[in-house]
Structure 1
Amino acid sequence: MVPDPKRKLLEAAIDHVARNGVGDLSLRTLATAIGTSHRMLIYHFGSKEGLLVEVVREVEARQRAVLAGLDLGADRPPLEIAREFWRHLTGEALRHNERLFFELYGQALQGRPGTTTMLDGIIDDWLAPMAELLGRLGVDEADRESHARLGLAVTRGLLLDLVTTGDVAGVTAAMDRFLDGYAREALT
Structure 2
Amino acid sequence: MKSDDRRAAILDRLADHVLAHGLSAASLRPLAKAAQTSDRMLLYYFKDKAEIIAATLDQVSLRLVALLEDQTAKTPLPLADLRTQLLTLLFAERLWPYMRIWLEVAALAARGDPVYRDVGERIARGFLAWGAAQLDSPTPDAREADAARLMVTIEGMLLMRSVGLEDVCRKAL
For the aligned pair, the TM-score class normalised by the smaller chain equals 0.7 to 0.9
Query: Aligned letter for 1:61?
Result: L
Contact residue 10 and residue 35 of structure 2 kept, 8 A: yes
- Is 1:84 paired with 2:81? no
User: What RMSD in Å do the two structures reach over aligned CA positions?
Assistant: 3.1
Query: Aligned letter for 2:39?
Result: H
Query: Aligned letter for 1:173?
Result: R
* 1:82 positional shift: 4.1
- Is 1:100 paired with 2:101? yes
* 1:156 positional shift: 1.4
Query: Structure 1, unaligned stretches of length 5 or more?
Result: 179-188
Q: 1:109 to 1:97 in 2, by over 3 A?
A: same
* 1:118 positional shift: 0.6
Query: Structure 2, unaligned stretches of length 5 or more?
Result: none
Aligned to 1:170: 167
Q: Which contiguous aligned blocks of 4+ residues in structure 1 show a shift greater than 6 angstroms?
A: none
What does 1:111-130 align with in structure 2 at a 5 Å threshold?
A: 111-130=112-131
More helix by share: 2
TM-score, normalization by structure 1: 0.71
* 1:173 positional shift: 0.4
Contact residue 53 and residue 118 of structure 1 kept, 8 A: yes
Q: 1:125 to 1:52 in 2, by over 3 A?
A: same
TM-score, normalization by structure 2: 0.76
1:39 and 1:125 mapped to 2: Cα distance? 31
Aligned to 1:140: 138
Aligned to 1:160: 159
- % same residue: 27
Aligned to 1:186: none
2:90 and 2:162 mapped to 1: Cα distance? 11
